[in-house]
């Protein structure tokens, strides 16, 4: 009996090894199959372009057809709806502005889940409520698909250079399949845990980013009013303990740095509306978890006021200009 068991075990080990090799082979063969991309805004377009640069055929769509032209000129296949993308691709990335947009793109009348194929990998890089990510994962599972949340940080510049950081939530056994695509668009891909934990990490990051940007804007404004040259002040900050991303990489003062929104009348970059939205997500999750976030609450209030004062479509670093105008300058 023991000999029979040992023989059966050897047979099982040979079979499982064969299955593992076959699985790797299938993944390898599928590596350059088409990838769907939905949402071609400031972030989505450079992300999709980096997939093309890495040899992946891209099937794309956007609610604004004119947003597809740049990808179409690079030989991406442009289709009319998310449902049509789902017909043609079994790996789909979405990059959308908000939770309602994600709900519509996935579950709407022309949504992904209308035509999604069993086994399809769905990667959402939008920044949304973690509860919505979990809701989408359940809906996808019912259709035999796999949903992962993979929001990003780094901004438009990092998206163009494929230097984004992805924070991934979902089934750990599917992480490698997601990582294959995400490494084409980012320098860092971090597995955070179950579905929704990627969104949790992103919300925490953007909460700190907003607070840091307001602090940098206040600091630069005070230094200028005290007679300091803004470039000199930025140099001092960036070699001192006050150094942060908002001071050394994305300075909000016009003329201090090139290639950032403050050098271009705050055009492009990460919109004030989106920052206000992300701070709203932080506020909601803090309420749900009974977490005190007084500085984030104040930052949320500032960015909401900015949206009502004509800053909605400007980069969030325009808080420097907002503070100057509040002083009557």
Task: Return the DSSP state at 174.
Answer: G
pLDDT value for 322: 98
Q: For the ranges 157-161, 214-218, 308-312, which has the lowest average pLDDT? A: 157-161
Closest CA to 281 of 167, 168, 188, 205: 205
Q: Is 252 exposed, middle or buried (0-12, 13-18, 19+ CB in 10 A)?
A: buried
Active site residue 202: yes
Asked if residue 51 has pLDDT above 50, the reply is yes
> When comparing pLDDT for 24 and 275, which is higher?
275
Q: Which residues contact 165 (CB under 8 A, 6 or more apart)?
A: 152, 153, 154, 158, 186, 187, 188, 189, 190
Q: For the ranges 3-17, 69-83, 124-138, 313-327, which has the lowest average pLDDT? A: 3-17
pLDDT value for 157: 87
Residue whose tokens read 């840091």: 212
**pLDDT band at residue 269 using 50, 70 and 90 as cut-offs:** confident
Task: Return the DSSP state at 66.
Answer: G
pLDDT value for 329: 53
Asked if residue 170 has pLDDT above 50, the reply is yes
Exactly one of 69, 88, 202, 235 is catalytic; name it.
Answer: 202
Percentage with pLDDT > 90 across the chain: 87
Average of per-residue pLDDT across 93-120: 97
Percentage with pLDDT > 70 across the chain: 90
Distances (CA, A) of 46 to 41, 111, 163, 177: 9, 23, 11, 21
Asked if residue 28 has pLDDT above 60, the reply is no
Distance CA 60, CA 49 (A): 11
Mean pLDDT score across all residues of the chain:
91
**pLDDT band at residue 31 using 50, 70 and 90 as cut-offs:** low
Average of per-residue pLDDT across 80-109: 97
Radius of gyration, alpha carbons of the chain = 23
Express each pLDDT in 191-234 by its tens digit. 999 999 999 999 999 999 999 999 999 999 999 999 999 999 99
Query: In this structure, are residues 156 and 42 in contact, taking their beta carbons and an 8 Å threshold?
Result: yes
């Amino acid at each position: 009996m023991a000999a029979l068991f040992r023989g059966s075990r050897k047979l099982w080990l040979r079979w499982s090894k064969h299955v593992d090799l076959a699985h790797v082979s299938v993944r390898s063969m599928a590596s350059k199959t088409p990838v769907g991309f939905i949402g071609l805004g400031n972030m989505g377009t450079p992300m999709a372009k980096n997939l093309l640069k890495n040899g992946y055929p891209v099937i794309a769509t956007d609610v604004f057809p004119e947003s597809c032209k740049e990808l179409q000129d690079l030989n991406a296949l442009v289709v009319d709806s998310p449902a049509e993308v789902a017909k043609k691709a079994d790996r789909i990335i979405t990059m959308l502005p908000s939770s309602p947009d994600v709900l519509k793109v996935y579950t709407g009348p022309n949504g992904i889940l209308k035509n999604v194929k069993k086994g399809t990998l769905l990667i959402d890089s939008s920044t949304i409520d973690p509860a919505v990510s979990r809701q989408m994962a359940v809906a996808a599972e019912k259709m035999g698909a796999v949903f992962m949340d993979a929001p990003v940080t780094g901004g438009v510049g990092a998206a163009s250079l494929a230097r984004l950081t992805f924070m991934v939530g979902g089934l750990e056994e599917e992480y490698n399949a997601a990582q294959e695509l995400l490494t084409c668009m980012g320098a860092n891909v971090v597995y955070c845990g179950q579905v929704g934990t990627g969104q949790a990490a992103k919300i925490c990051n953007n909460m700190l980013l907003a607070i840091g940007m307001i602090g940098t804007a206040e600091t630069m404004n005070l230094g200028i009013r005290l007679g300091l040259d803004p470039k000199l002040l930025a140099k001092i900050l960036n070699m001192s303990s006050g150094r942060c991303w908002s001071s050394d990489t994305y300075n909000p003062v016009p003329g201090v740095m090139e290639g950032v929104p403050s050098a271009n009348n705050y055009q492009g970059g990460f919109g004030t509306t989106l920052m206000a939205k992300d701070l709203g997500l932080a506020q909601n999750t803090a309420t749900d978890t009974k977490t005190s976030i007084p500085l984030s609450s104040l930052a949320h209030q500032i960015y909401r006021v900015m949206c009502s004062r004509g800053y909605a479509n400007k980069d969030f670093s325009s808080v420097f200009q907002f503070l100057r105008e509040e002083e009557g300058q």
